[in-house]
Amino acid sequence: MTVFKGILLHFWKYKILILILLAAFFGFAIMFSQGNSSDNYNSESLRLKVIDHSQSDISRGLIEYLNVNNEAEIINEEKTDIEALEEEIFLSAIDGFIIIPPDAQPRFMDGDPVVETTSDRRTSKHLQLQTAIQQYFMFLKADFDTTGTLHPNETIELLSESIDVKIHESVDVEAQSNFDYMKNYTNFAGYWIMLFLLIIVGNVMSEFNSPELKQRINVSPMKTGTFMYQMIISQIVVGLVVVAFMFFGAVALRSGELSGVPLGKMLAALILITAFTLSIHYVIGALTTNKFIINGLANFIAIGMAFLSGVMMPLEVMGETAQNIAQYLPLYHFTQIYAEADITWSESAFPMLVVALYTIAFLIIGMIVENKRKISS
């Protein structure tokens, strides 16, 4: 296993570069991950004070409804000091106060704004309060319009049920956002693996493919078949280690946020793109041992394909021509393996097959190029 060991030793010599590339990758991944989770809007319980001048069914209903999720304290209407209340908001002692006017019921019937609210407009709590009040009156109005009478208690029940539904829906939303994140992550990981393998494997193998060293190894009793075998095995090992880093890195990064993510398909996709990249590298290696050309080609191929396959930006943004070209690129099919959160294995089979066929095609091209070169030398 001297060649196998020798090649792995070479990869080890690139450890600093590999670490930098990995750090850059996970740096991006963590950055995206944080931006993503802050989107999850969490409603908090509001501390409110209510001055009820109306003492009607609808005002009592509103207070009851607000108390479902918040703390609404009714204060004495005689001793109301608006300025003091504003001061309390300013000091964050309360999140807002509501004044229900005496003519609340007729206002409601006329479709006029019923209550007056004060809260800090700069915080999300302002919006939360507005939404809660709007919801209450909307439901109440819908009920009134159909039945012609007011039933605040039933409205509250209805609203509470709809909150349950909402909570249920928001789980789905979470799954979708989990999937979206992992989809972007896997897209980026696919691109990164291509670039990484083309550069690192390219540089290592260009050394082994240099004519002096090849001749020298040819003189030794190492059989060509054994040499090839060890070379392929070592590349596969490196490829799998990289995939494992990408995959388990994501799993660690997103632990607890993985429901609804087709992880198996993503892993399969990453393994396939690794195999495909190694097959491209095989063709490049058969064409040249010049490191500059290898690095140039690596960037060109990886970035070009990434752009045209929707890995860098959604294909829909690009023109029709780009979209048409993309259909023929393996990286596009790579993204199709995990295109939907609930994709089935039979739906993934076709894009998986396409990537595998591309890999085989490149291996055959590589063999042809290599044989041509052997004959001409």
Partner 1 sequence: MIMMDGVVKRYNDLIALDHFSFTARDGEIVGLLGPNGCGKTTAINCMLSLLTFDSGEIEIFGEKVDSNNNTVKRRIGIVPQELAIFDKLNVYENIDFYCGLYVSDNKERKKLVEEAIDFVDLEKYRKFTPGKLSGGLKRRLNIACGIAHKPELLFMDEPTVAVDAQSRHFILEGIKKMKAKGTTVIYTTHYLEEAEQLCDRMVIMDQGRSIAQGTVSQLQKSISTQERVEVGFLTEDQDMKKRLEELPHVVKVSSKNGNYLIHFETQENNLPNLIKFIESNDLTYTELTSERSTLSDIFLELTGKELRD
Q: Which residues are at the interface with partner 1 (CB under 8 A)?
A: 2-3, 5-6, 9-10, 13, 204, 207, 212-213, 215-223
Closest distance of CB 193 from partner 1, Å: 22
Nearer to partner 1, 166 or 214 (CB): 214
* Of 262, 265, 273, 269, nearest in space to 239 by CA: 273
Residue 181 Cα distances to 21, 29, 59, angstroms: 21, 9, 44
Closest distance of CB 281 from partner 1, Å: 18
Nearer to partner 1, 218 or 259 (CB): 218
Sign of CA dihedral 301, 305, 311, 313: positive
Nearer to partner 1, 1 or 24 (CB): 1
Nearer to partner 1, 324 or 376 (CB): 376
Closest distance of CB 12 from partner 1, Å: 9
Distance CA 377, CA 371 (A): 10
Closest distance of CB 15 from partner 1, Å: 11
Helices 211-219 and 152-208 cross at an angle (nearest 10°) of 70
Sign of CA dihedral 31, 312, 24, 182: positive
Nearer to partner 1, 6 or 249 (CB): 6
Phi, psi of 38 (to 5 degrees): -70, -10
Nearer to partner 1, 213 or 368 (CB): 213
Distance CA 182, CA 37 (A): 12
Burial bucket for residue 238 (CB in 10 Å: 0-12, 13-18, 19+): buried
Closest distance of CB 171 from partner 1, Å: 52
Nearer to partner 1, 168 or 223 (CB): 223
Closest distance of CB 218 from partner 1, Å: 6
Closest distance of CB 283 from partner 1, Å: 23
Closest distance of CB 371 from partner 1, Å: 16
Nearer to partner 1, 215 or 255 (CB): 215
Strand order in the sheet with 116-119: 71-74, 47-52, 96-100, 116-119
Closest distance of CB 208 from partner 1, Å: 8
Nearer to partner 1, 2 or 344 (CB): 2
Distance CA 109, CA 160 (A): 23
* Of 19, 14, 16, 22, nearest in space to 200 by CA: 14
- The number of beta carbons lying within 10 Å of the beta carbon of residue 35 is 10
Residue 241 Cα distances to 6, 31, 186, angstroms: 17, 23, 16
Of the CA atoms within 13 Å of residue 142, those in its CB half-sphere come to: 10
Q: Which residues make Cβ contacts (< 8 Å) with residue 340, sequence separation at least 6?
A: 262, 347
**Residue 166: strand, helix, or coil:** helix
Closest distance of CB 199 from partner 1, Å: 15
Nearer to partner 1, 202 or 310 (CB): 202
Sign of CA dihedral 327, 332, 337, 342: negative
